[in-house]
Amino acid sequence: MAKQYSTAEENSAINKFNEYIVPFFKTPEGTLILVIFIISIALSIVTDSFLTTYNIFNLFRQSTVLGLIAIASLIVIISGGIDVSVGAIAGLTAMNLAIFLGVFSYPVFLSVIFAILIGTGAGLFNGIIIHETRMPSFIATLGTMTIMQGAIKLLSGGRTVSGLPGSFTSIGMIDIFGINIFLYIWMFFILLTWVIIKYTKFGRNIFVLGSNMEVAKLSGINLRKTTYLTYSFAGFLCSISGILLTLRLFSAVPTGGQGYNLTGIAAAVIGGASLKGATGSVQGAVLGTLLVMLIRNGGVHIGITPFVMEVITGALIIIAVALDTFRKTD
């Protein structure tokens, strides 16, 4: 009798595993969790310096800048667009913030507000160009990316802007319960974006817009307003990313943000966002970010040169697009 009960329990456990666990690991998020786990185990075996408290917290802290840019990219991708200027917006925000603080000596709060307005305004500018000219989003944002990268160099004179006040730089060193403030900021915006996508009218509208523009129009969705809000919100998230970048570097560099333009898109697509629109999740973008940063972090511990890491990052972008294509084929 006991044996029959045990067998029934085993069958129940197997059924639950097949019903809940197996389908989960077939999702982009489940697959990423598995891949991250396997890579982490491998890195902890081949190097003693990876699996340490300091390195794990440092990995998450380093992920925050790219993580916010990946979420910004996700919002645009869901709406059916593509924004290659996300890194440039972060860099422009960072440079203006550094100039406000280090050159003009504006108060920290005022400087941060101005920087956020500039980043959000840059996103709105993208939205205006894309909607009003009907220009493909890739071409439009490629143009604005080039403009912003040039503006960064003009503003800085091609030099690093440093000498920021301690009242600002000390913010980045705040720890709460042993966790750096960068992570709390990232988690806040992860939750905020998740709520917006899941429970607001704007969140529903961008999925409809990304699915079919004509359907969106027939559904009574204001295409102009939705497009403006989409790119403005993406610019806002990038501006927060630029602020964190300035806090991390204690300065702003003329090339700031350039490495994030395509990597942010790759992180979102690796996390399950479809370049055809109407598909994607915040949790997927977060996991995609963690995978990209895990590979970079692991490369440093193993001793892979930065040039090789550039090759690997390029390969990740190709893999991300290929995964998107395979998902749609299936």
Determine the residue type at 301: H
**The domain over range 28-329 is classified in CATH as 1.10.3470.10:** yes
Cβ atoms of 252 and 98 within 8 Å: the answer is: yes
Tokens of 18: 């097949």
Distances from the Cα of 18 to the Cαs of 10, 105, 257, in angstroms?
A: 12, 61, 44
Domain limits of the chain? 28-329
Nearest to 179 by CA among 64, 88, 294, 76: 64
Q: Give the phi and the psi of residue 200 in degrees, each rounded to 5.
A: -110, 160
Tokens of 319: 């893999």
What does the pLDDT read at residue 251?
96
Q: What secondary structure, in 3-state letters, does the chain show?
A: CHHHHHHHHHHHHHHHHHHHHHHHHCCHHHHHHHHHHHHHHHHHHHCCCCCCHHHHHHHHHHHHHHHHHHHHHHHHHHCCCCCCCHHHHHHHHHHHHHHHHHCCCCCHHHHHHHHHHHHHHHHHHHHHHHHHHCCCHHHHHHHHHHHHHHHHHHHHCCCCECCCCHHHHHHHHCEECCEEHHHHHHHHHHHHHHHHHHHCHHHHHHHHHHHCHHHHHHCCCCHHHHHHHHHHHHHHHHHHHHHHHHHHHCCECCCCCHHHHHHHHHHHHHCCCCCCCCCCCHHHHHHHHHHHHHHHHHHHHHCCCHHHHHHHHHHHHHHHHHHHHHHHHC
Q: Residue 179: beta bridge partners?
A: 176
Residue by residue, pLDDT tens for the chain (330 residues) are 445 545 655 566 555 555 556 566 567 788 889 889 999 999 999 999 898 999 999 999 999 999 999 999 999 999 999 999 999 999 999 999 999 999 999 999 999 999 999 999 999 999 999 999 999 999 999 999 999 999 999 999 999 999 999 999 999 999 999 999 999 999 999 999 999 999 999 999 999 999 999 999 889 999 999 999 999 999 999 999 999 999 999 999 999 888 898 899 999 999 989 988 999 999 999 999 999 999 999 998 998 888 888 888 788 778 777 766 676 565
